[in-house]
């Protein structure tokens, strides 16, 4: 891509700062589980918020979200505007998590329900991390390297690795070194550095991209009003005054233009969002590392502000890349994105690195490449640490309760290595998916509903018991795994299709959001029915873990942890979200 001296200086400088921060943290580490997995529970709110943002805004956003912007405009902004879910974490869940002093989300579920539910959730979470976060991170790293350094090859004698696989392995190795050695403390402090680089670098891509296209109005004119319409996926053309679904001719689903259906976006997307932001170890582990309820809440609110940025620093650059190609202002981009005169969805996954390659001037390009690497590494480091915490604290420590603190830390490191290897084997499945971000949302849609149900019903209803929780988790997990098993041959085997009209064909062709809603409804019914058909839980044992078992002391301590500043900041986040929905109307 023609990197010049200033570019390499920026990249080397980024790695120098990152390694210096990681080394500083490693030298201050303590060989205890509390320090390795939760950074000693002394993270400030600004570090908590920055780390939540950096963990979320990873490779799947740089590659997948920008790719979605290139093909579908602002449609996927619905997921990014779910920043309000972080406010639910801050105001609804943080008080319960702070009181419980747990290491992991499955551990919280054990305190609320039973040890069996803890083990089941741990297994579901680890499977989910392999299928989504680890594999997607590895795949996206390969896409970035393949786009920026397409001629890179490495001949090992028995195999020749192209730039895709070289990039995938490099990202894993570099990230794994400081994650394995430093634990959560190394992750969150490097995340803070990476957040600054990522936001600043991505903002420069938007600025220089708009300059290349001729400004904001030119972008709107070339891309077209549909690309700027957030409401279009929710209300199909011709159905503005009704809620009647529209049946597609080729899929058993209700679509907007074959892409994102209003029914799924309205009901399924919030379920996935609330599961992810409020109950996923990958995200919540940062809040668990805060020293108090106040710091955890402020960190979550700060993260909700940062979460509003991706619409402008990832989706808009994807749209700019599309507009530059469509208008013919950059023929290199048209050749890179189009196949036989039509926009190629797979090629659009490289929209962000393509824009970096063709729009940015020397020097600035190096800084943005550093931002690309920051996003790739921050998301992977977070999932590595979350995976090791889940395996060590929820599974291994149960089988080896006499294990020392030193042994727990080492088992966490070993578990991380194994998870990475398994994730590498899943990359071919992702390569066959419709799009990276679509793949991520689909798999999460299959695995999230049972977890969402047991946490939300568990906190809001004291009558839900351990038998209902376990039944909902197992039934929901089996339904999700069944759908993945049906979909996998279609993704892996080129040209494979089930015979039209058969049961497996019907299952495979149900839109993922509708299947997710089906799992959600089944899990709600199972949990409520089983809980009410069996004995009540011990309300004394779950004191403080549900709204129905809070006492005056619980309420007094929680009320003293916030004032008008947290309320005002939360209101500001909601105001920005509302403004975005009002502006992006096509």
User: What value does the mean pLDDT take over residues 456-471?
Assistant: 95
The answer to whether residue 28 scores a pLDDT higher than 80 is: no
Distance CA 397, CA 127 (A): 19
Q: How confident is the model at residue 438 (pLDDT cuts 50, 70, 90)?
A: low
Average pLDDT of the chain to the nearest whole number: 80
Q: Break the chain into its structural domains and give their ranges.
A: 5-108+122-433
Question: DSSP strand E in 261-420: where?
Answer: 338-339, 342-343
Query: Greater confidence, 232 or 551?
Result: 551
Question: What backbone phi and psi angles, to 5 degrees, belong to 161?
Answer: -95, 130
Distance CA 215, CA 186 (A): 40
3-class state of residue 338 by DSSP: strand
Summarised one tens digit per residue, pLDDT across range 332-341 is 888 888 887 7
Q: Which CATH class is domain 5-108+122-433?
A: mainly alpha
Cα angle value 378/381/382 (rounded, 5°) = 85
Q: How confident is the model at residue 437 (pLDDT cuts 50, 70, 90)?
A: low
Do 270 and 86 contact (CB within 8 A), yes or no? no
The answer to whether residue 214 scores a pLDDT higher than 50 is: yes
The pLDDT score that the predictor gives to residue 33 is 66
Do 362 and 4 contact (CB within 8 A), yes or no? yes
Q: Compute the Cα dihedral for 293, 299, 305, 307 and give only its sign.
A: negative
Distance CA 277, CA 83 (A): 9
Per mean pLDDT, which of 73-82, 461-470, 487-496, 552-561 is the most reliable?
461-470
Report how far apart the first and last C-alpha atoms of the chain are (Å, whole number). 35
Distance CA 79, CA 76 (A): 6
Summarised one tens digit per residue, pLDDT across range 34-89 is 666 665 577 889 888 988 887 777 656 666 788 888 888 887 787 788 899 999 99
């Amino acid at each position: 891509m023609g990197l010049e001296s200033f570019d390499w200086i920026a990249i080397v400088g980024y790695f120098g700062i990152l390694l210096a921060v990681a080394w500083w943290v490693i030298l201050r580490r303590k060989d205890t589980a509390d320090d390795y997995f939760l950074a000693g529970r002394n993270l400030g709110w600004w570090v908590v918020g920055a780390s939540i943002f950096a963990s979320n805004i990873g490779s799947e956003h740089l590659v997948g979200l920008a790719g979605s912007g290139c093909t579908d405009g602002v449609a996927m902004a619905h997921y990014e505007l779910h920043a309000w879910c972080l406010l639910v974490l801050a105001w609804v869940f943080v008080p319960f998590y702070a009181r419980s002093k747990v290491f992991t989300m499955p551990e919280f579920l054990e305190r609320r329900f039973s040890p069996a539910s803890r083990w089941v959730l741990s297994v579901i979470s680890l499977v989910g991390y392999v299928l989504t976060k680890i594999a997607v991170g590895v795949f996206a790293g390969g896409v970035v390297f393949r786009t920026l350094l397409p001629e890179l090859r490495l001949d090992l004698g028995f195999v020749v690795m192209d730039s895709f696989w070289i990039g995938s392995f490099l990202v894993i190795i570099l990230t794994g070194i400081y994650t394995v050695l430093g634990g959560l403390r190394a992750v969150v402090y490097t995340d803070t550095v990476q957040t600054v680089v990522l936001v600043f670098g991505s903002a420069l891509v938007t600025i220089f991209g708009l300059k290349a296209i001729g400004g904001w109005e030119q972008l709107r004119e070339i891309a077209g009003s549909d690309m700027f319409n957030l409401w279009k996926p929710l209300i199909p053309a011709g159905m503005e005054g009704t809620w009647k679904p529209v049946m597609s001719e080729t899929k058993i689903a209700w679509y907007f233009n074959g892409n994102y259906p209003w029914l799924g976006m309205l009901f399924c997307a919030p379920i996935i969002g609330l599961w992810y932001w409020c109950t996923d170890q990958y995200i919540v582990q940062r809040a668990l590392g805060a020293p108090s309820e106040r710091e955890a809440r402020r960190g979550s609110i700060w993260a909700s502000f940062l979460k509003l940025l991706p619409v402008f620093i990832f989706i808009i650059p994807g749209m700019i890349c599309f507009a530059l190609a469509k208008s013919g202002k950059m023929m290199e981009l048209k050749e890179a994105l189009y196949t036989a005169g039509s926009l190629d969805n797979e090629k659009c996954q490289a929209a962000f690195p393509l824009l970096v390659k063709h729009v940015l001037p020397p020097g600035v390009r190096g800084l943005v490449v550093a931002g690309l690497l920051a996003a790739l590494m921050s998301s992977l480091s977070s999932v590595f640490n979350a995976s090791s915490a889940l395996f060590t604290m929820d599974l291994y420590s149960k089988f080896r309760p006499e294990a020392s603190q030193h042994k727990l830390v080492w088992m966490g490191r070993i578990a991380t290595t194994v998870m990475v290897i398994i994730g590498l084997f899943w990359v071919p499945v992702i390569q066959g998916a419709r799009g990276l971000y679509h793949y991520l949302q689909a798999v999460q849609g299959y695995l999230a509903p049972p977890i969402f149900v047991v946490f939300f019903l568990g906190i809001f209803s004291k009558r839900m018991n351990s038998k209902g929780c376990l039944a909902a988790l197992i039934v929901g997990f089996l339904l999700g795994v069944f759908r993945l098993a049906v979909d996998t041959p279609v993704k892996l085997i080129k040209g494979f299709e089930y015979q039209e009209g058969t049961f497996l064909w019907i299952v495979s062709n149900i839109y993922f959001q509708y299947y997710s809603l089906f799992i959600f409804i089944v899990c709600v019914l199972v949990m409520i029915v089983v809980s009410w058909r069996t004995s009540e839980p011990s309300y004394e044992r779950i004191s403080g873990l549900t709204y129905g078992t809070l006492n005056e002391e619980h309420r007094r301590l929680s009320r003293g942890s916030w004032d008008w500043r947290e309320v005002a900041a939360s209101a500001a986040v909601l105001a920005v979200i509302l403004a975005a929905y009002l502006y992006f109307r096509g």
